[in-house]
């Protein structure tokens, strides 16, 4: 049975993940990468990006624990490290600019193959990048939850994937109505929310690493 605390936690995770993935901020890059393409090709690429984001984050959801265990990384350390990564992304978003952690200049140029562009660089690392992966791994450790909570976390991942799909399919009309200024405002608002959550992750990790600080 899903409790009120679980619903609140799922809502916070969905908001955080949506802010990190930030499909609205990726609209200019999507339009640029698919310039002069037919509507059918753009729609097919939007489907590919959505599937890539969902599959990468779902794989992270179920394999994240094992990855941390393999490298001998504690959750406390990952909270601090992941929080710093998310904070860096948030600071870039507050300045309405693209962080190199999401996409390097070399990855941005890899747009020749219409079949592959939806996977790299649009799907990974632009949307399902280090920040999103870190957020999912941190979420899996909620209150020492078991496999059932992992299944519940498919809801935020699915919701964010659907948001990516819808935003990219409507990227043209959204860009025309909001313009660069409108998209930048949304990006900055998401960055502000993300910065607050990143600080919360870092504070929790430091508190667990150094209990005497509390």
pTM: 0.86
CA gap 84, 91 in Å, rounded: 10
Q: How many CB atoms lie within 10 A of CB 192?
A: 13
Q: Which two tokens stand for residue 28?
A: 């200019």
Q: Give the integer Cα–Cα distance in Å for 100 and 57.
A: 20
The structural domains of the chain, with segments of one domain joined by +, span 39-213
Higher pLDDT, 6 or 192: 192
| pLDDT per residue as tens digits for the range 16-72 | 999 999 999 999 889 988 888 999 999 999 999 999 999 999 999 999 888 888 999
The predicted structure's pLDDT at residue 147 = 75
User: At residue 103, does pLDDT exceed 90?
Assistant: no
Q: Among residues 72, 21, 28, which one has the least CA distance to residue 49?
A: 21
Instruction: Answer whether 166's CB lies under 8 Å from 30's CB.
Output: no
- Is the CB of residue 52 less than 8 Å from the CB of residue 119? yes
pLDDT of 144 reads 54
Tens digit of each residue's pLDDT (9 = 90 or more) over 161-199: 999 999 999 999 999 999 889 999 988 998 898 899 899
């Amino acid at each position: 049975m899903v409790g009120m605390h679980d619903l609140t936690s799922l809502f916070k995770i969905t908001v955080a993940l949506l802010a990190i993935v930030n499909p609205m901020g990726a609209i200019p890059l999507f339009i640029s990468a698919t310039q002069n393409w037919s509507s059918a090709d753009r729609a097919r690429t939007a489907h590919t990006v959505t599937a890539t984001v969902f599959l990468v984050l779902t794989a992270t959801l179920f394999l994240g624990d094992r990855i941390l265990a393999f490298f001998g990384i504690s959750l406390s350390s990952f909270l601090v490290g992941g929080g710093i990564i998310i904070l860096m992304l948030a600071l870039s978003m507050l300045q309405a600019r693209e962080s190199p952690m999401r996409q390097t200049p070399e990855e941005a140029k890899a747009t020749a193959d219409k079949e592959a562009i939806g996977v790299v660089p649009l799907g990974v690392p632009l949307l399902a990048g280090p920040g999103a992966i870190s957020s999912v791994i941190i979420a899996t450790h909620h209150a020492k939850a078991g496999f059932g909570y992992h299944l519940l976390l498919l809801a935020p991942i699915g919701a964010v994937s659907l948001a990516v799909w819808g935003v990219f399919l409507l990227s043209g009309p959204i860009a025309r109505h909001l313009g660069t200024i409108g998209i930048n405002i949304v990006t900055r608002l998401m960055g502000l929310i993300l910065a607050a959550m990143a600080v919360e992750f870092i504070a929790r990790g430091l508190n667990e690493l150094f209990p005497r600080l509390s």
